[in-house]
Amino acid sequence: MTSPTPVVELVQAGFAYEDGPPVLSGVDFAVAEGRAVALLGRNGSGKTTLLRLLSGGLRCVSGSLRLDGTEVAYDRKGLTRLRTTVQLVVQDPDDQLFAASVDQDVSFGPMNLGLPEEEVRRRVREALDALDITALADRPTHLLSYGQRKRAAIAGAVAMRPRVLIMDEPTAGLDPHGQERLLDALQRLREAGTTVLMATHDVDLALRWADEAAVLAPSGLRTGPVAELLADDALLDEARLRRPWGTAVARLLRTHGLLATGASEPRTPEELDAWLGAAASSRTE
């Protein structure tokens, strides 16, 4: 199978902060169009650094960043090309929000693209609705709760309609309803063809949501299908990640001879419920 050209790709990328030790070295990481990728790794493993390299906020010390197969030039033209394709939502919403109200903040990016007023209004409306914060449009951003600020920051990136949406721990600090709303919004974006990459510490979310995982382990970056990587005990130990709930349940079912070796595993309680229902009805046939 020939794989299509990745949208963004780091090739043999290395990075160190000034006077610091190397954070990343020799990293090859390709993000294919339309995929949902979860970036995992312990605190300080370099997730935020990697996301900032991909979105152009930091520049590789060695190696290169490619966009649609062409090396990104860090001049005005090159960075504009990158920033109209890739949007990063940073870990702390207070580093992202700056306008007086939610509406103004979310409008800022699309307005800066020089879009007609009507198009700006439409994008803002859709982004606020997707993140369930329409009622907060006129509120001062500094008076919002942490979860509300987090959603406002994500809405600002969504309104830019990027081809690649990168988010640094977007669900951290969201309540369960907020998390589900965000996953719904991401699902709609993916259906519209957006590529989504998120750093997260939540292995259950990664297994449920992502197609692919990228795991930053001390021995380097490992990428592959999420279910495969999150079932790799040696990798999970090395990266100090917990085994996801679904993988643990599937392993128990297999141990008791209840799930065939190659069968797909339940990733959520709802999927387990559906699987149990199907298993029960096949026994009564």
Ligand X SMILES: Nc1ncnc2c1ncn2[C@@H]1O[C@H](COP(=O)(O)OP(=O)(O)OP(=O)(O)O)[C@@H](O)[C@H]1O
Residues that bind ligand X (CB under 6 A): 17, 20, 23, 41, 43-49
Question: In whole angstroms, how close is the CB of 257 to ligand X at the nearest point?
Answer: 39
C-beta closer to ligand X: residue 52 or 83: 52
CA-nearest of 179, 205, 209 to 35 is: 209
Residue 86 · residue 72 · CB < 8 Å: no
Choose between 88 and 253: whose C-beta lies nearer to Mg ion.
Answer: 88
- CA-CA distance, 123 to 159, in Å (whole number)? 5
Please report how close the Cβ of residue 186 comes to ligand X at its closest, in angstroms: 20
Under DSSP, is residue 281 helix (H, G, I), strand (E, B) or coil? helix
Q: How far apart are CA 76 and CA 228, in angstroms?
A: 40
Residue 44 CB, nearest approach to ligand X (Å): 4
Give me the least distance between CB of 116 and Mg ion, in Å please.
37
Amino acid sitting at position 239:
A
Choice between 47 and 123, CB closer to Mg ion = 47
Which partner in ligand X, Mg ion, none is near 55 (CB below 5 to 8 A by kind)?
none
Residue number with the shortest CB distance to Mg ion? 48
Q: Which of 7, 9, 31, 48 binds Mg ion (CB under 5 A)?
A: 48
Q: Which is nearer to ligand X, 221 or 249 (CB)?
A: 221
46 makes contact, choosing from Mg ion, ligand X, none, with CB < 5 to 8 Å by partner type, with ligand X
Report the b/e string of 69-99 with b at 16+ CB within 10 A: eeebeeeeebeebbbebbbbbbbebeebbee
Only one residue has tokens 């100090």, namely: 240
Report which residue type is found at 34: G
Q: Which is nearer to ligand X, 46 or 110 (CB)?
A: 46
Q: Which does 197 bind (CB under 5 to 8 A by kind): ligand X, Mg ion, none?
A: none
Residue carrying structure tokens 């992502």: 210
Q: How many CB atoms lie within 10 A of CB 115?
A: 17
Q: How far is the CB of 173 from ligand X (least distance, A)?
A: 13
Residue 98 interacts with which of Mg ion, ligand X, none, CB < 5 to 8 Å by class? none
Q: Which stretch binds Mg ion (CB under 5 A): 41-49, 60-68, 130-138, 174-182?
A: 41-49
Ranges within 149-168 binding Mg ion (CB under 5 A): none
The secondary structure element, H or E, covering residue 157 is: helix 146-158
**Residue with smaller CB distance to Mg ion, 48 or 96:** 48
Q: In angstroms, what is the minimal distance from the CB of 9 to ligand X?
A: 19
Q: Which stretch binds Mg ion (CB under 5 A): 45-53, 54-62, 76-84, 116-124?
A: 45-53
Measured CA to CA in angstroms, residue 30 lies from 7, 34, 76, 179, 212 at distances of 8, 12, 24, 27, 11
Beta strands 195-199 and 36-40 are: parallel
Contact indicator for 58, 34 with CB cutoff of 8 Å: no
Residues 6+ apart with CB under 8 A from 136: 102, 128, 144, 148, 152
Is residue 258 a contact partner of residue 272, using CB atoms and an 8 Å limit? no
| Shortest Å distance, C-beta 93 to Mg ion | 14
Choose the contact partner of 261 out of ligand X, Mg ion, none; CB within 5 to 8 A by kind: none
Query: Residue 88 or 120: which CB sits closer to Mg ion?
Result: 88
Residues 81 and 72: beta-carbon distance below 8 Å: yes
Residue ranges in contact with Mg ion by CB under 5 A: 47-48
